Chains A and B, each alone.
Chain A
Amino acid sequence: MASASGVSMSLSSITCSFKKNQVPISSLKSVSMPIKGKSFQSLRLRTGPSRLRVSCAAKPETVNKVCDIVRKQLALPADSEVTGESKFATLGADSLDTVEIVMGLEEEFGISVEEESAQGIATVQDAADLIEQLISNK
């Protein structure tokens, strides 16, 4: 919201300066630049659907267990920030780590994760949701 008002402010200030200097209308095209700025792009990304979720969000206990397994695999300190939102990649998990994490989750929860499903896991929440879905399907 703040960014939207920011753009409109700069629009009016630019229009004012143009009037003063009597610059031709065609140069107003340069005003469109701020609209394409980062803030708008990220808004667009966030409002768009990222993934079709069929299951409900997992229980907090499941999420916490996943966080613990992830922390252990990546040897992260106990106080490091790992939440449902955390992406494996940004925590530093490479492909071998991810596969080991999935294996750890399979052992912890007594489930079997297919390659197709494993590929879709990007965040801790994704993993927790998948685990509960697999448990309920057993």
Chain B
Amino acid sequence: MFSFLHMASFTMKIHCFQRNFSFSSSALVPVQLPSRMETHFWYILPDEVKSATLLNQYLDILSPCEKENVLRMHGDNLKKSALLARALVRTTIARYQINSQVSPTSLKFRKNIYGKPEVDWQNHYDRNPPPLHFNISHTSSLIACGVTLDSPIGIDVEEKQRTTKNNILSFARRYFSPHEVESLSIISDPEIQRLEFLKLWTLKEAYVKALGRGFSAAPFKNFTIRFRAATKGHLHLSGNSNSKASEIIVESSDDPKTLTSNWQFALLELTGSHYAAICKEKDDDTVEGKGSVPMKLTVRKTIPFVEDQCISGKDALVLVGGL
């Protein structure tokens, strides 16, 4: 009887080994689902992925449609970022091991009625699928994926050295709210002004992406993002990088009522080179009261199937709004 059991487990082990082997170096390290208070932030640096074998491995997990889209991109760098973006999303969600049948390749995606991508659990789940939300953003040098449980999320990343072709204030006057234009125009140093512009841009993008109803549903001009200092009731306009901002709030231009009751933000600086803005809907329990609740963040750098690294400290510097 014992030998029979041994045989069964031995066969199982061989089977598992073979499955892992197909991912050559190692399988994806599984991760626990975030709690409702948490946000998981995963990112990949394209420059750290050089192996053609690895890139082919990533290509293999994509759907035929995704592969077509990747190959349609103009030039190798764009193809690579498009590939890594899809590979990051698929491998990240598969890690949460919600169901043993979910693998990076088996995941299906769809778009909501406004075009925001979401997981299509299909028949992976008999009853209610896990309320896993995600959002991706990429620049040529960093690709990120944010994951939450049970709350819409939007993220946006931007290179700190990104310049605009248009004059910053002209651009802001055209697209930002009057308050934001004012907060930028009082900055005399053009470099600081550019950086503050990028912070506002990423935060506004993250908010619109979290809303998930498309650019036109929340025109940039109709809402203001501002930074608020720790002391209660003392409002700073953003612009001074030395201001002790403790939270980011969003206000509607049409309706003076603050929208913060629904949304929380965090702004990070990654590896000194990128800004990352995260916007997530607040958990019902934290909506009570006017107090701000910093976002509980876990930042991980990854090269799927190769290595994962928990990032903290100056490599994931929380500028505002996160823990």
* Residues on A facing B (Cβ under 8 Å): 38, 72-73, 80-81, 90-92, 94-96, 99-100, 103-104, 106, 114-116, 118-119
Residues of B within 8 A of A94 (CB): 138-139
Instruction: State which residues 140-193 of B face A: CB under 8 Å.
Output: 140, 156, 158, 162, 164-166, 170-171, 174-175
Q: In the complex, what distance in Å separates the CA atom of A115 from the CA atom of B175?
A: 10
**How far, in Å, is A12 (CB) from chain B's closest CB?**
26
Given A95-B205, A96-B201, also A38-B216 (CB < 8 A): no
Please determine whether B165 and A72 come into contact, CB atoms closer than 8 angstroms.
yes
Say which one of B71-79, B117-125, B308-316 lies at the interface with A: B71-79
Residues of B within 8 A of A81 (CB): 74
**Is the pair B78, A116 in contact by a Cβ cutoff of 8 Å?**
no
Which of B64, B140, B216, B220 has its CB near the most chain A CB atoms (within 10 A)?
B216
Could you show 10 A-B contacts with beta carbons less than 8 Å apart? A92-B74, A92-B78, A94-B139, A95-B215, A96-B164, A103-B171, A103-B175, A114-B216, A115-B215, A115-B216
Taking CB atoms and an 8 Å cut-off, the chain B residues in 251-289 that contact chain A are none
B residues in contact with A99, CB < 8 Å: 175
**Closest CB pairs A-B (n = 9):** A115-B216, A116-B216, A115-B219, A92-B78, A119-B216, A119-B215, A90-B73, A90-B72, A100-B165
Which interface residue of B138, B140, B158, B164 has the most chain A CB atoms within 10 A?
B164
Q: Is B131 located at the chain interface by the 8 A CB criterion?
A: no
Asked if A100 and B64 sit within 8 Å, CB to CB, the answer is: no
Q: How far is the CA of A95 from the CA of B214 in the complex (A)?
A: 12
Contact A104 B74 (CB under 8 A): no
Q: Which A residue's beta carbon lies closest to that of B170?
A: A103
Chain B, Cβ-Cβ closest to A69: B165
Q: How far is the CA of A73 from the CA of B166 in the complex (A)?
A: 9
Residue contact B165 to A104, C-beta cutoff 8 Å? yes
Cα(A114)–Cα(B73), bound, Å = 28
Residue numbers in A under 8 Å from B166 (CB-CB): 100, 103-104
